[in-house]
Amino acid sequence: MNIMKYLSDIMLEVLKFFYMIGGHNYGLAIIWLTVAVNIALYPLTLSSLQQMAAMQRIQPRLAELQKKHKDEPQKLQKEMMDLYKSEGVNPLGGCLPVLLKLPFFLALFFALQSNEFMHLIGPGTSFLWIMDIAKPDPTYILGVGIGVTTWLTQKSMPASPGQPQLMMWVMPIFITFVSIPFAAGVQLYWVVSNLMGWAQQTYIMSQKVPKGKW
């Protein structure tokens, strides 16, 4: 059994738990499970954003070093490492926590598309306006919600130097169209996960990263 299948099976068992204690509705169970996973992985989100903000803060000094030692690659490497050390910055610190979070989110994503989940919920399981969470949302509300919350999530992150502003719009639009064929249960998870990410990132950038430090 591969690790992703193992994690997906765990997610399904946890989903059953939230179904039992959270109102006997799989739509609510998906929301509770998504919130719980995001809360559990909050320390990784905090670490990632703090390192991203730190990297953005030292970008002007890195640019100066690159200009000063453009013909001395070894000198440049040493000066950059010294700068990272003095500022307490890990160049990989912004992406490593995200990579560690990815298996858990993929496991939940795949669990909600699995045959086991479809068999678990059965046909015609409704939630709010959605008549069957095993099928795509026919109103496209959740699909559009995924695009909007993706944009909000991107806006709440520290901007990378030189990042094209066009990508801030292209990515949400692209993800909206990609997500439309997915089952409404998956779409619901995606929207809630994005909202949790946006809320956590907004809190971290306003409370955990001092103003003027990013």
The H-assigned helical ranges of the chain are 3-21, 26-40, 42-57, 59-68, 73-87, 96-111, 115-121, 141-155, 167-179, 184-203
In a domain, 107, yes or no: yes
In a domain, 213, yes or no: no
Residue 15: CA atoms inside 13 Å, Cβ hemisphere, count?
27
Q: According to the 3-state scheme, what is the secondary structure of 30-80?
A: HHHHHHHHHHHCHHHHHHHHHHHHHHHHCHHHHHHHHHHCCCCHHHHHHHH
In a domain, 178, yes or no: yes
Tokens of 166: 């066009």
Tokens of 186: 């998956």
Question: CA angle, corner 207, sides to 164 and 209, nearest 5?
Answer: 50
In a domain, 150, yes or no: yes
In a domain, 78, yes or no: no
Which residue, chain included where needed, has tokens 């999530």? 153
Give, as one character, the DSSP assignment of residue 206. Answer: I
- The pLDDT score that the predictor gives to residue 160 is 56
In a domain, 73, yes or no: no
**Domain tally, the chain:** 1
Look up the pTM and report it. 0.75
Domain limits for position 130: 3-60+91-208
- The pLDDT score that the predictor gives to residue 91 is 66
- The pLDDT score that the predictor gives to residue 2 is 77
Distances (CA, A) of 20 to 23, 117, 126: 7, 15, 16
In a domain, 66, yes or no: no
Residues in the chain predicted with pLDDT less than 50, given as ranges, are 212-214
In a domain, 214, yes or no: no
- The pLDDT score that the predictor gives to residue 97 is 57
